[in-house]
Amino acid sequence: MTDPPYDIVVFGATGFTGALTAEYLAAHAPQSTRWALAGRNQGKLEDVRRRLAALNPACAEVPLLRADVTDTDSVRNVAEATRVVITTVGPYIRHGEPLVRACASAGTDYVDLTGEPEFVDRMWLGYHEQAIETGARIVHSCGFDSIPYDLGALFTVQQLPEGAPMALDGFVRVGGSVSGGTYQSTIEILARLRQSASVARERRGRETRPSDRRVKGMPGTPHHDEFGGGWAVPFPTIDPQTVLRSARALERYGPEFTYSHYLVVKRLPVLIGMVGGVAGVAALAQIPPTRKLLLDLKTSGSGPSPEERQKAWFRVRFAGRSGDRQVRTEVSGGDPGYGETSKMLAESALCLAHDDLPERAGQLTPAVAMGDALRRRLEGAGIGFEVLDGE
Ligand SMILES: NC(=O)c1ccc[n+]([C@@H]2O[C@H](COP(=O)([O-])OP(=O)(O)OC[C@H]3O[C@@H](n4cnc5c(N)ncnc54)[C@H](OP(=O)(O)O)[C@@H]3O)[C@@H](O)[C@H]2O)c1
């Protein structure tokens, strides 16, 4: 097969997170990386390229590819023109499938930012087998969903003895606000909980699981947690699913592995307000007219200002146990949703394009596809992975 013209294409470069990802590449990609921007609007792509050229004059020549997810040929052209595609065209359940289909068919590596479990399960059902045949690595959730948890759990497991049962608890604390694209995707997730559960059941029925090892999610119960840093409630996002998939794929997680995932909030009244708010929005998202009102509240393309992003932060703590051994670790960084997310996404693409990785294909988690190579890249880029204590 001939080498395609690009190493990396950023699809969705005109959106809020896509533009930040392109800016990260402009500042940090090695000079030898051949990369391009893709999107549906030529004028907006040119604006993004002008902004990049102000950061790095070499970017004045970054090629622009026209692609719209409703035009199959244009999406196929993107997948065939590059070794790795980054996509920030979301909500993924609405816009994501054509590119996954094109990458699985062309044998092109793919990274996205989805936090939508239904999308990931649908893509596994539709394209996992084909991606294995063509050698494509389809790696979802390469942003704040789910890299700190997935790589943080792997990092914690690596501090515990090999070949022994282990149990991990993960505690997430964040400060920051969300973009229009994330808001729209969250409403989509809440509106489609029933469809999501049914696709997850179908996947469970078809996916083979290890017969000699047990991997289990433990929902946990709300409690005050000194180590977590406040009131902890079970947090059933895509992240624990990603951690458990890595545990099923990698022997290093031991013969018996359990994981509980919590959101931590310092003050109880704030937590109660948040849980009530999510329940209320979930109820409104089930009914088409109120869902439309919700979607109109915050539209695509906008996001927190540089000043707001400067103040945002995240901290994920893990408590790991194996027999009488215990270890406590922490993954931390700045603005989780956008600054650090665009860094994680761009470094994932650079890792797939340039690093020596295990030979694997199909739908893979970040830990399974890239593991330590990606962690080292992120540490080099300022994201902390620390052992706090252990005995
Ligand atoms: N889980 C995480 O950690 C995390 C963090 C951040 C973001 N995200 C997700 O990332 C996604 C993007 O977020 P965002 O805030 O950057 O959204 P955004 O600003 O709304 O950007 C969406 C992008 O999709 C493009 N697009 C829409 N329809 C298209 C089509 N038919 N063909 C081609 N391109 C199309 C838009 O192009 P135009 O500019 O032409 O409209 C824009 O470039 C969302 O799904 C969000 O949930 C996840």
CATH number at residue 55: 3.40.50.720
Report the separation in Å between the CA atom of 195 and the middle of ligand 1, taken as the mean of its atom positions.
22
Distance, CA of 14 to CA of 12 (rounded, Å): 5
Distance, CA of 113 to CA of 345 (rounded, Å): 7
Token pair for 206? 């078809």
Closest atom of ligand 1 relative to the 186 alpha carbon:
47
Put residue 163 in one of left, alpha, beta given phi > 0 → left and psi -120 to 50 → alpha: left
Residue 95 lies in a domain: yes
* Whole-Å CA distances, 322 to 45, 230, 241, 260, 266: 51, 24, 21, 15, 28
138 shares its domain with 168: no
Residue 270 lies in a domain: yes
Ligand 1 pocket, residue 211 CB under 6 Å: no
Report the separation in Å between the CA atom of 89 and the middle of ligand 1, taken as the mean of its atom positions.
4
Ligand 1 pocket, residue 15 CB under 6 Å: yes
Residue 378 lies in a domain: no
275 shares its domain with 248: yes
Report the separation in Å between the CA atom of 328 and the middle of ligand 1, taken as the mean of its atom positions.
35
165 shares its domain with 203: yes
Report the separation in Å between the CA atom of 290 and the middle of ligand 1, taken as the mean of its atom positions.
22
Residue 59 lies in a domain: yes
Residue 22: name the closest of 13, 12, 30, 31 by CA: 13
Which letter does DSSP use for residue 308 in this model?
Answer: H
The domain in which residue 22 lies consists of 6-143+341-373
Closest atom of ligand 1 relative to the 68 alpha carbon:
32
Report the separation in Å between the CA atom of 119 and the middle of ligand 1, taken as the mean of its atom positions.
15
Ligand 1 pocket, residue 300 CB under 6 Å: yes
pLDDT of residue 182: 78
| This prediction's pTM | 0.95
Report the separation in Å between the CA atom of 213 and the middle of ligand 1, taken as the mean of its atom positions.
38
- Bridge partners (DSSP) listed for residue 316: 172, 331
Closest atom of ligand 1 relative to the 14 alpha carbon:
43
Residue 1 lies in a domain: no
Report the separation in Å between the CA atom of 208 and the middle of ligand 1, taken as the mean of its atom positions.
33
96 shares its domain with 226: no
Ligand 1 pocket, residue 88 CB under 6 Å: yes
Residue 4: name the closest of 95, 77, 89 by CA: 77
201 shares its domain with 286: yes
12 shares its domain with 131: yes
99 shares its domain with 10: yes
Ligand 1 pocket, residue 376 CB under 6 Å: no
Q: Whose CA is nearest to atom 21 of ligand 1?
A: 15
Closest atom of ligand 1 relative to the 338 alpha carbon:
6
190 shares its domain with 220: yes
206 shares its domain with 282: yes
pLDDT of residue 203: 97
Residue 164 lies in a domain: yes
281 shares its domain with 165: yes
96 shares its domain with 223: no
Distance, CA of 361 to CA of 130 (rounded, Å): 10
pLDDT in tens, the chain (391 residues): 678 999 999 999 999 999 999 999 999 999 999 999 999 999 999 999 999 999 999 999 999 999 999 999 999 999 999 999 999 999 999 999 999 999 999 999 999 999 999 999 999 999 999 999 999 999 999 999 999 999 999 999 999 999 999 999 999 998 877 777 778 888 888 888 899 999 999 999 999 998 899 999 998 999 999 999 999 999 989 999 999 999 999 999 999 999 999 999 988 888 888 888 888 888 888 888 888 888 888 877 778 888 888 888 999 999 999 999 999 999 999 988 788 999 999 999 999 999 999 999 999 999 999 999 999 999 999 999 999 987 7
Ligand 1 pocket, residue 341 CB under 6 Å: yes
pLDDT of residue 369: 98
End-to-end CA distance of the chain: 52
Q: 3-state class of 223 per DSSP?
A: strand
Q: Whose CA is nearest to atom 45 of ligand 1?
A: 90
Report the separation in Å between the CA atom of 280 and the middle of ligand 1, taken as the mean of its atom positions.
25
pLDDT of residue 1: 60
154 shares its domain with 269: yes
pLDDT of residue 276: 85
**For the chain, what is the domain count?**
2
Q: Judge whether 86 and 60 are in contact, CB under 8 Å.
A: no
Q: Judge whether 6 and 82 are in contact, CB under 8 Å.
A: yes
Query: Mutual orientation of helices 339-354 and 16-28 as an angle, nearest 10°?
Result: 60
